[in-house]
Structure 1
C-alpha cells in the first residue's frame, strides 16, 4: 500500500513538474516573440527618438491628425493613463505646458490605478480608480469648475487568455469611461476610447448615439495589424437629462 502511494505521489509530482516546464516554455516562447516584435517595430524606435514613454503615442498622434480633437486651450482628461504617452501627446497638442506663448494654454489631467511619473504640464493622479465616487470628486475639484473638452482612454484589462472573458472586461471599462465622460464633459465635448472588435461593439455604438451626435471607428496604422483593437471616437456630447427641483427634466 505504501509503495503504491509512493509511486502515485511520484507520478503526480512528475506530471506537475512537466506541466510547470510546459508553461515555462510557452512563456519563454511568448517572451521571445514579443522581443522580436519589439525590435522589428519602427514605432518602438520612434518612441525613443521623440522621448515618448511608449509606442501608443503614435496611435493618438495619427488619430488626432485625422480628427483634430486636440487643439491648444482644451481641457483633457486621460483615463488609465499609465505610463503616460497619451498624456504627453495631449500636453503637446493642447499647449498645457505653455510651450507656445502665442497659443491658448490648455490643461491635462491624468488618472490611473498604477503609478504615473510626473509629466510637465499635466496634473497626475496616480493610484486612483477613476470609477469611484471619491476619484470623481477629486477630479472635479482639480478641474476647478471647468468642464472637460476631451476624455481619452487607451485602457485595456490584463489578458486572462480567455477570449470572451477578456472582451467582456474591456467592454466593462468602456462603459465606465462613457459614464465618467457623461459626468464631466461639456456640451459638444468628445470621447475617444479603445475597444476590442466583437459582437458587443455595435451595441456599444448604439448606446453612444444616445449621448453623442457622431460616432466614428478608427484603426490607426500604429495599431498592430494582428491586434483586434480599434478606437471609437464619439463627438458632440448632447448632455444628460437631470431632474430639476420643479419635477421637470433638463
Structure 2
C-alpha cells in the first residue's frame, strides 16, 4: 500500500489505527450508540458476523468500562459469532459457528447461563460483486438469517442492529422487521460513506407476534418459509424514518484530508532495507558490449 493511498487518506481509517480499533467500522457503532443509547442497561450482548472484531471491541470497551466504574464487570457477558476465527478480546466469548444453525443459538444461550440477550448487533455483509441487485438480495438474506437467530436469543423489549443495503425492495424488509419490533429506524452514521448504499436498521422493543415460535430449520430455503414468515399478519408496506447520526461537525467520511491534518504529526517510517539505486554490473557490461558492436539504442530499465 502506498503511503498516500486512499485508505491512509481516509480520516476514520487513520483514527481507528491511532485509537486502537481493529477497523474503521467501530465508529459506526459508536455513532449509532450516541444517537440511540444502545448500550444503556445492556449486560448481555451478541455480535453476529463479528470478524475482524471491531464491533465486539466496542462492546467490550464500553460495557466493561461502564461496569468497572460501577464496581465490577462480572455481570457483563459478550458473545461474538463468526465462521472465521479472530484474535481474542477481553471479556468476549467467541463462537466459531454458523448463524443459520440452531446449535449456534443454543450455545449463545448456554454462555448466558440460560438468559436471553439484551442487544444483538450484526455488521455482516457479503463480498460485493458490483451487481447491485445481486448484492442487495444476498445482503437481505443475510439480514433475515441474523433476524432469525435473533428471535431465538433476544429478550422481549431488546434491541437488534444490523447492516442493510437500501434498494428498491427495502420496504419489504422494513415490513418484516416491523412484525417483530415496535420501532424500526433506518440510520446512516457519519462515518459511513455517502457513496455507499449501506445503512443500519435499529430495531427496538422486540415483541414477536402472539403464538410465533422461532424456527431454525432452514427457513430461508424451505418451501414453507413463505407461509411461516412472509404471510404473518401485519402491515405489508411501512414507512421507516431515516436518520443521519453522528455529530455534524465530525469528520466527513467522503472527504480526503491531508496526511498532516491531525494534531499528532504523521511520521513516515524509513525503509528497513536500503534501496539499491545503482545498475547491476551485468546490465552495464551488456550495455557496453552492445555499444562496442555498434548495436542500436539499448534502454536501461
TM-score, with length taken from structure 2: 0.66
Change (3 A) 1:243 1:159: closer
Say which SS state the counterpart of residue 196 (structure 2) adopts.
coil
Contact between 1:44 and 1:55, CA under 8 Å: does it hold in 2? yes
Q: What is the aligned partner in structure 1 of residue 25 from structure 2?
A: 56
1:142 paired residue among 111, 121, 140: 111
TM-fit CA distance, 1:72: 5.5
2:90 paired residue among 109, 112, 120: 120
Contact between 1:156 and 1:170, CA under 8 Å: does it hold in 2? yes
Measure, in 1, the Cα distance between the counterparts of 2:8 and 2:42: 37
Contact between 1:97 and 1:121, CA under 8 Å: does it hold in 2? no
Q: What is the aligned partner in structure 2 of residue 18 from structure 1?
A: none
TM-fit CA distance, 1:73: 4.6
TM-fit CA distance, 1:192: 0.3
Equivalent positions of 1:86-235 (< 5 A) are 86-95=55-64, 99-102=68-71, 105-126=75-96, 128-235=97-204
Measure, in 2, the Cα distance between the counterparts of 1:223 and 1:243: 35
Please give the per-residue CA displacement for 1:40-97, whole angstroms capped at 9, x wherever unaligned: 1111111111111000000000010110011365211000000000001111222279
Contact between 2:123 and 2:163, CA under 8 Å: does it hold in 1? yes
Would you say 1:66 and 2:35 are equivalent positions?
A: yes
CA RMSD of aligned residues (A): 2.1
Question: Which sits farther off after the overlay, 170-179 or 88-97?
Answer: 88-97
TM-fit CA distance, 1:196: 0.8
TM-fit CA distance, 1:159: 1.6
Please give the per-residue CA displacement for 1:182-229, whole angstroms capped at 9, x wherever unaligned: 111111001000011102211111111111110101100100121110
TM-score, with length taken from structure 1: 0.78
Measure, in 1, the Cα distance between the counterparts of 2:212 and 2:177: 21
* Greater C-alpha radius of gyration: 2
Larger relative contact order, structure 1 or 2 (CA cutoff 8 Å, min sep 6): 2
